[in-house]
Structure 1
Amino acid sequence: MSKSGVLDFASGLGGNIDKNEVLSAVDQYEKYHVFYGGEEEERKAHYSDMVNKFYDLVTSFYEFGWGESFHFAPRWKGESLRESIKRHEHFLALQLGLKPGQKVLDVGCGIGGPQREISKFSSTSVTGLNINEYQISRGKELNRIAGVEKTCNFVKADFMKMPFPDNSFDAVYAIEATCHAPDAYGCYKEIHRVLKPGQCFAAYEWCLTDSFDPNNQEHQKLKAEIEIGDGLPDIRLTGECLEALKQAGFEVIWEKDLAVDSPVPWYLPFDPSHFSLSSFHLTTVGRFITRNMLISADFFVSSRPGICGTCPKGKSTCPKFSRAG
C-alpha cells in the first residue's frame, strides 16, 4: 500500500459515497450488469454514472491490494508484480519515444501511478484525465508525497468530451482505460483531436480475442464477469478496436496480444493456489485477515475523530500503438 497507511485507507472507503449509502451504490452498480438483469445499451447510456460508482467503491481496495497502478502486466519468471507493472509502463514510454520536456496526456489516469512513473522515467510533464473526483483528490495527495506536483497534474473531465484545444499534446496514452468508453470510435476521435499531427497514441486495452465465441455460454459468462469486475459497459473484439482507431484517423503501426508470450500468467495474483508474501492478502486466508483488520481500522478511525486521513492534521491486455495521421 502507499505511504499513507491503513488508517487513511479505511477512511477513504467508499470514495465520495457517504458510508450510509454504500450498499445502495453497490446495488445500483450491480443492476447495470448482466448477472442482475442489466443490458449493454443501459451500461453504455449511463457509463459515466456506472464508472463513477465503480471507482468510488473500489479505489481504496485497489490501492491496498494492487498499489498505485491499477492495471495488469505480462510478467517474467522471478519478477514481482510491482516490478512487472513498472516495466510495463517503461515499455509504453519507450514505444511512444517520449523526450524530456514533452507534454503528455494520460487518458483515464486512475490515482496517477503510471503518470508519476512515466513522468519520472521520461522527464516529461503528464496530465492525467479522469472523471472520478475521489481518484483525482487521492492522486493529488500522492503527487504531493512524491514531490512531482510541477510535472504531474490532473483534469476532471470525460474522455468523450475533452476540455483541451486541438493539437495540445506531444503524446497520449491510455492504460486499460478507454475500455470504459461507450463508443471506441468517439473516444479515439477525441484523442486524435488533442494529439499533435504525426505524434503517437499508445494503449493497453481489455479486448476479446478471435477465440471468443458469442454462442458459447461459458465465454459469455467470463465476459460478463470481467465487465462487472472492471466497470466495463462492454468488451470489444481486438479487431473492432483496431478498426475504430483507423476510422478515427490513426495509422496502426504495431499491435500485439502480450498475454500470449508472458512466461507468468497475468492472472496469477488472483490464483488462490499460488502463495507469496507479496500476494498473501489476495489469498483466502489473506482476505479473511485483511477484512477483519479493516473492520478494526474502520472502528478505530470512526471512534477517534481528528486522526483519520481526511483530517488536515492527520490516504489479458492488448496494446495498440498508433500514430496520428
Structure 2
Amino acid sequence: MQNTEYLELVETAGGRENHYARVVDRYYELVTPMCRDVWSDSFHLAWFAEGQRLHEAQRTMQRWLADRGGFTAGDELLDVGCGIGGPAANVAEYTGATVTGVNICGHQVRVARSLHTGDVGRRLTFVEADAMHLPYGPAEFDGVYSIEALCYTPDKSRAYAEVARVVKPGGAFVGADWFCADDLSEADYARWVEPMCRAFAIPRVIPFGAVREHLETAGFEVESVSRYDDHGDVAPNWRLCDDNAASAAGAGAGAGSDSRPESFESLLEASAPALRDACTAGKVIMGCWVARRRG
C-alpha cells in the first residue's frame, strides 16, 4: 500500500474498518522502527508502581496477566496481536509455557522471528494471521492473552468468539485493550475518540461497559474487568507517548517523497496528545479482563 492510499483510507472509520487488514499492516510497517526506540520489544502502555521504569512496568503487567490466567510450564498459549514478540518472550520465560503469537502485520512477524532465539526462542512461534480468522482448530490452546491489540479488529464480537473457539474449556482468556467511555454521544465520540482512532489506525473502539457482555456472549465466564488505574499510575505513559511522537517527527525530517510524507508525520505527532487528552478526560479507557471458557 502506498502512503497516499493509506492516508486516504485512515481518514474515516469506514475506510479503517473496510480495509483494516491493509491499513493496520501498513501502519505498523511504518511505525515499528521508531516505536522500538521508545518501547523496545513490547509495544503497549502499562500501569506503574512508584519508581518503576517502562520495561519494569510492562513486565509487571505481563506477569499480572499470566498469573491471573494461571499459565504454567507445559501450557500451549496463544498471544493475539503479538507485535514483535516482546510480551510473548517474557510470558514464555516467566511461565515456562510455549507461546504462539499471531499478528496481521507481516513485517512485525518477520521482525519477531529474527529477534527471539535461544532457549526461550525455541518455545516461541510467530504466525501472520487475522484475529477474526484464527488458523487453528477448536480447543487447541490452554490459554489465550491479548495486549492492546483487539481494538484493531473491526468486529470485536467475532474476535472474542474466535478466541473462545480455539481455547480449551476452562482455559483462561486474559487481556488488556483500549475502550471508550459508556454512553458517549456521537459528538463526544467524534471530538475525543475518533482523532485517537485515526492517528493509531484503529477502526473503532467499543464501550468499556460492553466488555463483559461481549465476553459472556462469546462463551466466557468473566472473573473481573478493571481499569489500568485500578492497579497503578498511568501518567508516565504520556511522557513516553510524547517521546514516541517526537521520534516520529525526527524520523520524518528531510524525508523524500517515497518515504513517510509530512502529512503522515503530522498524524503521528498528533497521536500522543489525542490519546492523552481522551484518557485524562475519561473518554478513552484502558482496561483489562480475566475470563475463562465455559465448559
TM over 0.5: yes
Question: Aligned residue pairs: how many?
Answer: 267
- Runs of 4+ more than 4 Å apart: 281-284, 286-295
Q: Which residue matches 1:165?
A: 137
Contact 2:151 2:202 in 1 (8 A): yes
In the alignment, structure 1 residue 224 sits paired with structure 2 residue 194: yes
1:320 aligns with 2:289: yes
Match of 2:171 among 176, 184, 199: 199
Please tell me whether residue 135 in structure 1 is matched to residue 108 in structure 2.
yes
Is 1:234 paired with 2:211?
no
Identity %: 28
Looking at structure 2, the residues matched to 289 and 50 of structure 1 have their Cα atoms a distance apart, in angstroms, of 23
* TM-score, normalised with respect to structure 2: 0.82
Q: What amino acid does structure 2 have at the position aligned with 1:150? A: R
Q: Which blocks of at least 5 consecutive residues in structure 2 are unaligned?
A: 260-284
Which sits farther off after the overlay, 119-128 or 234-243? 234-243
Q: Indicate if the aligned counterparts of 1:201 and 1:324 stay in contact, CA closer than 8 A.
A: yes
1:106 aligns with 2:106: no
- The answer on whether the counterparts of 2:34 and 2:251 sit within 8 Å (CA) in structure 1 is no
Q: 1:261 to 1:125 in 2, by over 3 A?
A: closer
2:31 match: 58
Q: 1:180 to 1:289 in 2, by over 3 A?
A: closer
C-alpha distance 282-71 of structure 1, shift in aligned 2 (>3 A): closer
Deviation of 1:224 (Å): 1.6
Runs of 5+ consecutive residues of structure 1 not aligned to the other structure: 1-16, 18-23, 273-280, 299-315
Q: Distance in 2 between matches of 1:261 and 1:293?
A: 42
Between Structure 1 and Structure 2, the one with more helix by share is: 2
Do the aligned partners of residues 72 and 264 (structure 1) sit closer, same or farther apart at CA in structure 2, a change above 3 Å counting?
Answer: closer
The aligned residue for residue 303 of structure 1 is: none
User: Deviations along 1:76-134, whole A, 9 cap, x unmatched?
Assistant: 22111111111111111111011111100000101000000000000110000112111
**Equivalent in 60, 65, 68 of residue 41 of structure 2:** 68
Displacement, 1:291? Answer: 6.2
Question: Which structure: larger Rg?
Answer: 1
1:138 aligned counterpart, secondary structure:
helix
Matching of residue 92 in structure 1 with residue 69 in structure 2:
no
Does the residue aligned with 2:173 lie in a helix, a strand or coil? strand
Identify the residue that residue 218 of structure 2 maps to in structure 1: 248
The amino acid across from 1:190 in the alignment is E
Partner Cα distance (1:76, 1:227) in 2: 28
State whether structure 2 residue 145 is matched by structure 1 residue 177.
Answer: no
Separation in 2 of the partners of 1:209 and 1:139?
A: 33
User: Aligned pair in 2 of structure 1 residues 149, 261: CA closer, same or farther (>3 Å)?
Assistant: closer
**1:263 aligned residue:** 233
Q: Which moved more, 1:132-141 or 1:222-231?
A: 222-231
Sort the Cα spacing of 1:119 and 1:54 in 2 relative to 1 into closer, same or farther, 3 A: same
Counterpart-to-counterpart distance in 2, 1:321 and 1:267: 23
User: Which amino acid in the other structure matches residue 322 of structure 1?
Assistant: A
CA positional deviation for 1:149:
2.7
